[in-house]
Every structure is written in C-alpha cells, then in structure tokens.
C-alpha cells in the first residue's frame, strides 16, 4: 500500500499492453467532475435511503441541519470539522480493507485530494469482490450503522447528518456500481490503470487471453 497526495494517472504503455492481452476498457466518466455530475441522481437516491432508515427509529427534521421556519443557523466548529475528516478517512478505509492483501500490495494507493479521499488499486480483482469494495462504505455507514444505532437509541442529530453526508458522498461509488453491473460479465476480473478500469472474462475459473489461457491468481 502506498500513501500518495494525488490520484495516479493511467499509463498509456500499460493501456496498450492490456488491450493486447485481451483486457476490455470500461465506458466510464473521463474525469472527476464528469463523474460527480453524472452521480447527482445517485446522491439524491442514496440520501433518501438513509433518511428512510433513520426515520424508522427516529424522526429527522430540518432543525437537525440548522434550518427553522424563520432562520437558518449553521455553526461550524473544530469538532464538526474533525468529524467530517474522520468520516472521509473511515469511508476510504472501508474501501481499502476489503482489497485483497492491501498492506503488501505495491499497486494499491490511498490519499486525499481537493475532491476528498480516494483509494485505488491496480491489482486484479474478481467482479464480486470489486462490487463489494465499491459499495462497502455506503452499506456499512449509511445503511447498517443507522439500523444498529437506531435499534439501541443512539442516533444523535450529529450522527444523522454524518450518515446522510456519507450516503451523498457515496454517489460516485453507486455510479461505478451501475457501470460495473451493466458492462462487466459475472465471471470476470477487473483491473485499473490509474483511474481507467478494464475487465477480462474468466472461463471455468481461468482468465481468457488472446493466445492462451492462464490461471487467475486467487482474489
């Protein structure tokens, strides 16, 4: 695992090698801003899902966000900033820990940018594992956590806000989930070259290549 301060760029030479080896590029947003814009509908849906789960146990009102009938009050203090940073770190760690052998991997990266945190791996990963890695933060923080906290009566206004913010921040993850489900066959593996994603079909547990069949390593 490597800690970096910017998202690794794709290698054009590796791109050609991957294409020659039978890897198929996914159709996906070309940059971060395009991904964010395309993920806005997922942001809305994810927020409503978390709000719906929270409402099972505890009401949620605009006053929890500082809105009242006659005024808007938003207070920002060091405690809130710390919790937001902690949320970003937790979100990315939940991506990271489900990547196979992430500690020993020299092709797995974690870091922070102006757009938030990121985790990226260039290891070969099965489709099912890739999907789990993609949606783990949303499922754990914005679905499972409010269910558990709500059952024990521990849903405070601050936690409600953080849970909903995480759901909204998971919108790009949900967009990626849809792209993977629509484009990648079930028995396939995925690999990244920077932010570009590729897939290759597996046949009877093996990876299909142009000229031969090679055994896929365990993922």
Q: What is the pLDDT of residues 109-163, one digit of tens each?
A: 999 877 788 999 999 999 999 999 999 999 999 999 999 999 999 999 899 999 9
Average pLDDT, whole number, for the chain? 87
Looking at residue 72, what DSSP letter applies?
B
Band the pLDDT of 62: cuts 50, 70, 90: low
Nearby residues of 55 by Cβ (< 8 Å), 6 or more positions away? none
Q: How far apart are CA 32 and CA 41, in angstroms?
A: 16
- pLDDT at residue 5 in the model: 87
Do residues 206 and 215 make contact, with C-beta atoms less than 8 angstroms apart? yes
Do residues 172 and 113 make contact, with C-beta atoms less than 8 angstroms apart? no
Q: How far apart are CA 133 and CA 97, in angstroms?
A: 8
Band the pLDDT of 31: cuts 50, 70, 90: confident
Q: How far apart are CA 195 and CA 28, in angstroms?
A: 10
- Within 10 Å of residue 184's Cβ, how many Cβ atoms? 21
């Amino acid at each position: 695992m490597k800690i970096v301060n910017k998202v690794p760029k794709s290698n054009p030479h590796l791109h050609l090698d991957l294409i020659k080896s039978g890897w198929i590029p996914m159709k996906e947003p070309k940059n971060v801003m395009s991904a964010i814009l395309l993920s806005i509908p997922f942001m809305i849906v994810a927020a409503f899902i978390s709000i719906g789960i929270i409402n099972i146990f505890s009401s949620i009102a605009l006053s929890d966000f500082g809105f009242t009938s006659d005024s808007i009050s938003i207070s920002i203090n060091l405690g809130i900033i710390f919790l937001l940073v902690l949320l970003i770190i937790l979100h990315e760690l939940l991506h990271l820990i489900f990547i196979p052998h992430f500690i020993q991997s020299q092709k797995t990266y974690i870091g922070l940018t102006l757009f938030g945190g990121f985790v990226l791996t260039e290891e070969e990963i099965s489709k099912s594992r890739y999907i789990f890695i993609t949606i783990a933060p949303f499922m754990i923080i914005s679905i499972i956590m409010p269910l558990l906290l709500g059952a024990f009566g521990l849903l405070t206004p601050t936690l409600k806000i953080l849970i909903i913010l995480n759901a909204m921040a998971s919108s790009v993850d949900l967009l990626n989930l849809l792209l993977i489900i629509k484009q990648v066959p079930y028995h396939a593996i995925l690999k990244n070259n920077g932010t570009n994603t590729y897939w290759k079909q597996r046949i009877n547990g093996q990876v299909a290549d142009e000229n031969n069949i090679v055994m896929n390593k365990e993922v």
